[in-house]
Structure 1
Amino acid sequence: MSEELSRRERKKQETRQRLLEAALRLFRERGYNEATIEQIATVADVAKSTFFNYFEAKDAILPALIEWQLQELADALSPERSKLSSPIARIKKALCLIAEDPLSDPVIVRRLFAACRFTSDFHSLYTLTNLLADQVREAQAADEIRDDLDPLYVGGLIRALLFQQLVTWHYERRSESISDMLEDVVDLMLEGLAGPEWRKSS
């Protein structure tokens, strides 16, 4: 009986993952607004009704999709896999990877915030903050960021900066790349959070 339940649970997880992968593919290819639930179900090779066994609406897939992508990002930025030795360099890399992902489209960002607002599910936002806070802790240990600040507070500031710059870049149609723009503003912010330089002036 337990083996049957385990098999059934594994099948459910596989179906959910196929739906996530199908949604990500279609959002990349067609954009969020143009991709439909029916198309997502077709690409995932399931019935349209099956989609609603896992997600109430198209917006409802966003937190799960972003959570999955954030886990992929965390794995890519782990010291074991990252080729970047500097924690600050890894923070910049994290922001660039997020900014260049189709899930960072302002339409999706707005819908994610709306979904969080009406469901009280801010887990994806906290996951990103915690991911950045981990890098901040390492930067503090390496004297790259002053150590008298709460890493979660700094991580939250960086996350807010990321979303603000995404919206600015999109609506002002800047000619510079979003990666270059993010690197510039992060450098400006981190100048005030420097380690050795701050100690010398204090």
Structure 2
Amino acid sequence: MLQEISKRELKKLQTRKTISEIALKLFIDKGLNETTVAEIMERAALGTGTFYNYFESKEAILKYCLSEKIDQAEQTCADIQASALNSMEKLSQILQVIGKTHHQNRQLISLYMKSYRNVDKVDKEPPHGSRFEEILSGIILEGQEKNEFRKDIPLEVINEMFSSILMSTMSSNLKLSFMDNLNYKHSLLLEGVVKKKDSSA
């Protein structure tokens, strides 16, 4: 009986995944408003009414898809947090993970943000909540306790600095690749803008 329930649940999960993948491709190709539920379900070879067994709206698909990507990134970040790396290495790697997740899913994020502004259709709570901020805060606190980070600067300020690197890169109009832009800002935060003197000179 348990195996039978498991198979049924697995099929439901697969159907949900199929609907979301087909819908997202249509949203990107045509636009959210231009894509109909009937069109999505026709591509999925399912009845139109079946859609509402899995999603309450087209906008709910966007939140589901983004949540899936964020969950994957969060698990990677949690693994980094639990690793034996020092605190600075952890923050650096997490910055890369979050940056790449945003860069690889920028079309999905753009679609979600447009829908997010329509408060009548989309839950106001963003799918990531405060999870990444909590992970960053945990690593910064660990770094301060191990004397790897300065203790005279509040944890919240350090967290905000790292977060601002991501935010400014996401909204940047510079003619640089996303990851180059992110890495330059990261280097600037860690090493400063003043050129170090050559000790051998």
Q: Is TM (by shorter chain) over 0.5?
A: yes
Please state how far the C-alpha of 1:31 moved relative to its aligned partner.
6.7
Please say if 1:11 is aligned against 2:11: yes
**Pair 1:62 & 2:62 matched:** yes
Aligned to 1:154: 159
- Aligned with 1:46: secondary structure? coil
Q: 1:79 Cα shift? A: 3.0
Higher relative helix content: 1
TM-score of the pair, normalised by structure 2: 0.64
Q: Distance in 1 between matches of 2:34 and 2:85?
A: 36
Matches within 5 A, 1:48-87: 48-77=48-77, 78-79=79-80, 86-87=89-90
Give the direction of change, closer, same or farther, for the CA distance of 1:161–1:41 in structure 2 (3 Å limit): farther
Whether the 8 Å contact between 1:59 and 1:112 is mirrored in structure 2 is yes
Match of 1:95 among 80, 83, 98: 98
Q: Distance in 1 between matches of 2:44 and 2:55?
A: 14
Query: What CA deviation, in whole Å up to 9, does each residue of 1:109-128 have, x standing for no partner?
Result: 422532567554415131xx
Aligned to 2:195: none
Q: Does structure 2 conserve the Cα–Cα contact (< 8 Å) formed by 1:87 and 1:139?
A: no
Identify the range of structure 1 (62-71 vs 50-59) with the bigger mean alpha-carbon deviation.
Answer: 50-59
- Name stretches of at least 5 consecutive residues in structure 2 with no aligned partner: 193-201
Q: After TM superposition, give the deviation of residue 99 of structure 1 in Å.
A: 2.4
| Contact kept? 1:116, 1:122, Cα under 8 Å | no
Measured after TM superposition, the shift of residue 68 of structure 1 is 0.8
Per-residue displacement from partner, 1:41-86 (whole Å, max 9, x unpaired)? 3554433332232223322211111111111112333239989761
Greater CA radius of gyration, 1 or 2? 2
User: Is residue 88–residue 136 contact of structure 1 (8 Å, CA) maintained in 2?
Assistant: no
Whole-Å separation in 1 of the counterparts to 2:39 and 2:149: 46
Distance in 1 of aligned mates of 2:150 and 2:49:
52
Distance 1:63 1:164, change over 3 A: farther
Conserved in 2, the CA contact under 8 Å of 1:42 and 1:48? yes
Residues matched between the structures, number: 183
CA displacement 1:1-50 (0-9 Å, x = unmatched): 8776655444322211222333445556x375598345543554433332
Identity across the alignment (%): 22
For the aligned residue pairs, the C-alpha RMSD in angstroms reads 4.2
CA distance in 1, matches of 2:33, 2:97: 28
Work out whether residues 38 and 48 of structure 1, in 8 Å CA contact, stay in contact via their aligned partners in 2: yes
> Given the two structures, how large is their TM-score scaled by the length of structure 1?
0.63
Q: Which secondary structure does the structure 1 equivalent of 2:155 belong to? A: coil
CA distance in 2, matches of 1:43, 1:50: 13
Distance 1:63 1:109, change over 3 A: closer
